Chain A
């Protein structure tokens, strides 16, 4: 499990995403593999972790038949690459009956929607953050994890991204010892995001805020990034001096 301190600020760049997000990435990958194993065993009662119930698969003799719909050609290629490792494990052929069916005729980029998920622990919230980040059909534009014991800075960041009416709900969750994940996605992805929070990462409660114009959200993100940059600069200075101190300690040990 993640041994890093709980996230208390906006989503960190690659250097800090580390264990929680990577763990989510690997867990999602493992779930996909486990799903295909269940297909081979003839147990297809769960939906595909990424494509959901739109993807159907069954074994017909030694042929794996995949059918249903996927939203794009890229998704079809992804599915085909997923099943390649099954060949030779009881599967001689793969029959692809997938159809491309774009999900709805809604236009992305117009509106965004923010979701608030409450979790028992900061680790669970961090896991959910990584899970959404790694999911192919959800592209979070903003993510913020705030632990129950977060300091003022994190709570200020939380208040800056939520309307007043929802700040109280978030504060209530924090006061009850829960951790909160705030994620903003394109409105066309909000159904999927809610389902993932509710059903895959098992949030205790998921609240979806009303849609708002995408540019309003971008302005808030820009403000958050400026704040995050300032914090990172301070953090990097501290990390550099800590590293220098650690190297100095190692050198002194080698000398001994």
Chain B
């Protein structure tokens, strides 16, 4: 029988270590990563980082590149350390509190604040699910010729079935290879022969054009890079993997590698769209327009390559978005919640997951323009992100919550810098749209 007999006699404590040794120092000693281990650690992170570019992200970067050229590359550059720090804070919340972000906010700041945060994320997630579904259906229309509307329900049903009734983790491992297609943007960018001095100059020096198009692009770019659903997904990932504080170093390396790779891919998407589309005054209004960015690499087959990438990214991202929604709501109400649980063992969790996909389907079949839906769903992310980053900073800066694993000065400063950048971009966007209207 795997149950223990009655308790053993307690041992007399005996420690030769001096009392009051900081917990973090002991963890650091235990978790030093050797140079040989670094590759083992960052490999999965790079793969996961590639998967972070969902259809909404790819489309937003493409629109930004087509509308603004390289003038927002500097935002991508500065968002790298900000994104890394934010995701690392999320992971640390899971490792220290042993619970997800929504629960941690509820326990330490009350149900009302947690409910408000969860509501914002749920709205943004469902909007993104709808937009991703539309884009996936649009690329299927692009390669088959059949109307996109016929593909929405089957796609959603497939993803719901796999996530709820099958093993999503195993399924997602195969999909990661499809997403590797986006690495093609790096080669396409080189073959497009952009003006590299101009690219580099606009990457390191901020160029701001004070108009609604620019600021909408900025908020969309920041929202798709520092994306709220990833905060909750990251924390839940630590819970699923049961990665405690001794794994923080490894987790940090994993996250850094993933986020850097994700932004490198994003950078080249912007560059190639800037070189191929912006220079010819071509706006992205359809999936076919977005696919043209890959023509320098594969010519007329660009639409097939683009479609494979979008389908793979969508099949990965939509279950993650739906699960992230379910984790949020489950954490708010204290339900059983985990993708490793059978549906009968966590019915409320899977119900929310299914409803999230269902509402996304409703949005997708409403006739919304796919490109606009994707882009504005990321603008919405950009608007809510600062609220969640502030809550995250308050949690991870609290010694009551995090003990010795509280934020260091660099993390705290970069975190607040992220809030500052997001808030300034949001205010500039709101002001410019209010004064000159939507472009």
Contacts and interface: CB of A to CB of B under 8 A. Distances in A.
Interface stretch (B83-91, B333-341, B363-371, B377-385): B333-341
A106 B246 contact: yes
A212 B17 contact: no
Contact of B3 (A32, A190, A194, A210): A32
Nearest to B30: A107
Nearest to A192: B242
B327 interface: no
A104 B404 contact: no
B6 A17 contact: yes
Given A17-B6, A44-B342, A188-B246, 4 more contacts: A46-B345, A135-B3, A205-B334, A208-B99
A11 B6 CA distance: 12
B347 to A, nearest CB: 10
Most buried by A among B19, B26, B27, B244: B244
B2 A50 contact: yes
Interface stretch (A58-66, A172-180, A219-227, A238-246): A219-227
Contact of A218 (B7, B13, B405): B13
A126 B10 CA distance: 20
Contacts of B99: 194, 206, 208
A213 B245 CA distance: 12
A104 B247 contact: yes
Nearest to A164: B400
* Residue picked from B3, B23, B343, most chain A C-beta under 10 Å: B3
Interface string A95-138: 00000000110110011010000000000000000000111100
Interface in B233-265: 239, 242-247
Contact of B4 (A51, A133, A199): A133
B1 A213 contact: no
B14 to A, nearest CB: 8
A222 B13 contact: yes
Interface of B: 1-4, 6-7, 10, 12-13, 15, 17, 19-23, 26-27, 30, 96-99, 107, 239, 242-247, 334, 336, 338, 340-345, 399-405
Given A46-B345, A53-B341, A208 B98 contact: yes
B107 A45 contact: no
A253 interface: no
A215 B401 contact: no
A198 B330 CA distance: 12
B345 A47 contact: yes
A79 B3 CA distance: 11
A198 B21 contact: no
A225 B344 contact: no
A75 B4 CA distance: 12
Q: Interface residues of A: mostly helix, strand, loop or mixed? A: helix
Nearest to A140: B7
A211 B245 contact: yes
B165 to A, nearest CB: 11
Interface string A153-168: 0000000000101100
Interface of A: 11, 14, 17, 21, 25, 28-29, 32, 44-47, 50-51, 53, 75, 78-79, 81-82, 103-104, 106-107, 110-111, 113, 133-136, 163, 165-166, 187-188, 190-192, 194, 198-199, 205-216, 218-219, 221-222, 225
A97 to B, nearest CB: 16
A47 to B, nearest CB: 6
Given A136-B2, A210-B96, A190 B244 contact: yes
A205 B98 contact: no
A182 to B, nearest CB: 15
A45 B344 contact: yes
Contact of B403 (A136, A198, A211): A211
A32 B13 CA distance: 34
Contacts of B4: 133-136
B247 A215 contact: no
Given A208-B99, A219-B13, A222-B13, A45 B2 contact: no
A129 B230 CA distance: 36
Contacts of A135: 3-4
A107 B342 CA distance: 30
Contacts of B26: 110-111, 213
Contacts of B27: 110-111
Contacts of A163: 400
Nearest to B7: A133
Contacts of B334: 198, 205
B2 A215 contact: no
A4 to B, nearest CB: 16
B30 A21 contact: no
Contacts of A208: 97-99
24 contacts: A29-B1, A29-B3, A46-B342, A46-B345, A47-B341, A53-B341, A81-B1, A104-B243, A104-B244, A106-B244, A107-B30, A113-B98, A163-B400, A187-B244, A187-B246, A190-B98, A198-B336, A207-B107, A209-B403, A210-B96, A212-B403, A212-B404, A213-B17, A215-B21
Contact of B96 (A79, A165, A211): A211
A165 B22 CA distance: 19
Contacts of B15: 214-215, 218
B402 A191 contact: no
B13 A221 contact: yes
Contacts of B98: 113, 190-191, 194, 208
A129 to B, nearest CB: 11
Contacts of B107: 205, 207
B19 A219 contact: yes
A175 B267 CA distance: 56
Contacts of B23: 111, 210-213
B372 to A, nearest CB: 41
Contacts of B399: 210
Residue among A82, A212, A225 with most chain B CB within 10 A: A212
Specify which of B239, B243, B341 lies most central, judged by the most chain A CB atoms within 10 Å of its CB.
B341
Contact of A32 (B2, B96, B338, B341): B2
B209 to A, nearest CB: 46
A62 to B, nearest CB: 24
- Which of A17, A106, A194 has the most chain B CB atoms closer than 10 A to its own CB? A106
